[in-house]
Structure 1
Amino acid sequence: MRIHIMRRDEDNKNAVTPLPERIRISSEREKFIPLIPINRLSIFNELCKESLKQFVWSGEKDTTVIGDVETLGRIEGLGALSEHLRSLIVVCDSSPAEHSPDITIQPPPEFVCEQDRFFIVVSENATVAFLGTIIPEHQRRGEEDFIGGWTYHITYTNELLKLFAPSANLSLPDKNINLDNFAEISSRIMSMHAELMSEGTALRELEKNELAIALDILKSISGKRRAHDVLYIFVEKISKIVPSDRCSIVRVWGQEETAHVLASHDDAQLYDVTISLNKYPEIKKALATGDKVIINDVREDPLMLPCLDVLVKTGIRSILVIPIVLYDPEVGSLLLRAVRKKGTFSRKEISFFEIVTNAAANALERAQLFESVQQANKALEKLAVTDGLTELYNHRYFRERLEEEILRATRYKLPLSCALFDIDDFKKCNDVHGHLFGDFVLKEIAKRMQQTIRRTDIPARYGGEEFIIIMPQTDLKGAITQAERVRKAIEEKTFCSMGKDVKITISGGVAELNQEDVATIEDMIRTADLGLYEAKRSGKNKIVAVQLKNQDNKDT
């Protein structure tokens, strides 16, 4: 973890850089740790008071509070609440002549100025931090008199503890905490924040019933265990509050050039769809800068030039990408992406996105905890869908996956093809060279097949010496090309094992989903099998495509 302090300009008394901007915290894994924005001092004070009450009422042990004199002085009943605290640390320039022995006086860091406000609560299971700066009157816009925010991000608050109370040696462990308490406290603070905003002008553009939906998000996602359920409910509900043509959650692992769409508000079944980051420069920028990316008009922003033709064709005008901060960085980088075909996202809408995005991060973290328990079963799950000899998918998984791909292709009017292969004269190979050599042939064909096909293709062992490949978003012509590549990969190199050097060939039949009729798995397999039969009948070692509708064959 690296922390960067920006010194304020002492010569410019009229322009004070807000405290959150003076403190920039970054890490190797997470470049950006956003604060849930607060733009009114009254809301800041109320949230500080509410957070302390939540820690006390939830029974959190070893709770410590750190804050500036002004903020602590505005918390009603602090004396009574302090009886439940482990320690109270007051950050101020000079120590009072008399103060309670239970209070520790800590000098402020050099970068803190008179207008700054901060309040940090930490216990054995949870932590929350509030910080910001009062805006000088001549810089204020409307009722906004404060620039700041709050966070429950453990890495962030641990670093703040080092800055504001270095002698206290305080920190919260990243692992083995009670996430139920953690989620309960942060959700209650989030709810109060939304309620306080509704009393002012920050959400004036939103109707009251829409605000009720916003508050309901917290209840809805906090009760879910599966990460996908949490994410889908989040994007589905937030899209009702801030209308978007598409609102989705994207995950990126490390430095990969691909990303995975985990949930989208317009399709409850969509999960883990792979996309190329080269087609989404706004996501790449958000990852590189660790900050939100706002594209008001794709036609005027040079960032979108590489993919402008596609965006114009789809009618997309504005794009918003907001990084989501997670308690456990091992889950990769998660981002919210929303697009509009008409109009742009207003500042208040973006602020609202940031608030509820942080709420989703908390609930997702709890979901990840429950899902991590299931990780031990991954090996068993893999065995359930994998052929033991070839390590390709087995017949049962193939049928499930083909059914899913047919539904997806039908809904979005996408092409879908499959290719069914059979090893030529495999019985003779077994009879002459033995079943051990036959097993080697099966494994080697599976290996060459995996090396030849595209990443999006889905190979499986159909049964015996038969193999099948599902080719999403591929028309008949493209499927023939891919099947021919597989055939050549088998033919061009002999099979060498156990002192034997044998030439092996395969035949294949190719079929494309017929979008004009109601298609089933059996329809596609039957069509591909007809092609395979014709390839065998007409001499083997070839690929034949059968178009069932017109009953005409295409021999390659």
Structure 2
Amino acid sequence: MVDFLKSFFEGKKIFKPSYFDTPGPFLEYIKDHKPQAVIAEDSFLSSISDRTTRVPVIAIITRNIERGLETAISHHSDHYLYTPYFVQDLEYKLEKAILDRDQFSFMKHEIKELGIVAELSQLISSTLDPKEVLYRIVKKIADVMPVSRCSIIRVDWLRKSAIVVASHDDPDIVNIRLDLKKYPEIMAAFKTREPVVVKDILSDPLMRKVRKLVLPLGVKSILVIPIKVNEKIIGTLFLRTARTEHTFSESEVRLMNVIANASSNALYNAILFEQVEDEKSRLEKLAITDYLTGVYNVRYFYHHIIEEFHRSERYVFPISCVMLDIDYFKKINDEYGHRTGDLVLKEFAGLLKGCSRKSDVLARYGGEEFILMMPQTSVDGALAEAERIRLSVKNHKFKSIKNKKSITVSIGISYFPHPEVKTHDELITCADNALFEAKNSGRDKVVVYQ
């Protein structure tokens, strides 16, 4: 039988046969090798069948045919030969055994991939939070594939940068901006609209300019899969691996393509969600902000002073209110024009913001008047802050006025607790009366309501 096999394999370069006289050496061999097929005498089967469950086995019947067939069948041999042996018979059965094994492996792999995609689909549909969906996608990929980094990246072409929207190692790693000049593989994926596989960073010319930056990270190979929506690339699935044995296989690239397609809607929804949130924040800010000066508007101020005044009443905390008015502002408008007047108001508001504390609420009250609420601040504290503001304005050279002339400001202060202040409206009215007194008594001064 051995002579028949040696004769059969002679000249067949596609096979590299190994021969064993006893089961022992074969069992040692199979620990470190994965043969395409095993051809074994029926007397060997009982000793090796437990170790060849994943390898196609062709049994050679060398004794009683009936007993040999029973042995072959009982040990799950894929094919068998009995005397007389024919070359054509062995050739057919060997090719079929290898083909069946390859097809079985392919189907098994396909089933595994379908299972991964099905599980991802379930994960994607189980939450409405697009950021959570993206994190689940990269986390699942990292669970089934040995990668050192798996991320989903959105590209901001206006700023020529990329933004990490999900990374498998931490759900909180988001909105990290990357310089696209340092990621030529991402740029290549966008230009070609095809997957980019960097098999070896050391030798791939694409990575030449950034090799010194990437090598210290221990990265050996990179896979970038474009994510498309309606044929428009909106991001990439970005995988890095430290594997030295092999790069990404064709089946892994194919699987990542499927996952990229599955994640496209989630990424698109995340982008829309971010845009909606940004627009919502912008509109909310517009609703509470004075369009010219950028400080809060009077509606926002009233909303907060009501809350703070009630808190002061309940816990007997002091609260102060400061009203400010630019002296002779009408002359600025008449002499330099209303456009310059607007620029002065804007610069003045910026100066006030720089002088006020985080806890203070600054708003434009109307025209050239501004109002400042100072929670948990006594009249002495408010007076000190108001004097500091007055001097800062007086010493400031306004860029929007020719020759950078200085201007002055009149300030009125009210406070609570005060015998005449029972409501937040009275607090504001008293500050306005103090401001009126500062204007009528010479301007460029601070007056406290008595």
Q: Same fold (TM over 0.5)?
A: no
Larger Rg: 2
TM-score (normalizing by structure 1): 0.35
TM-score (normalizing by structure 2): 0.43
* Greater helix fraction, Structure 1 or Structure 2: 2
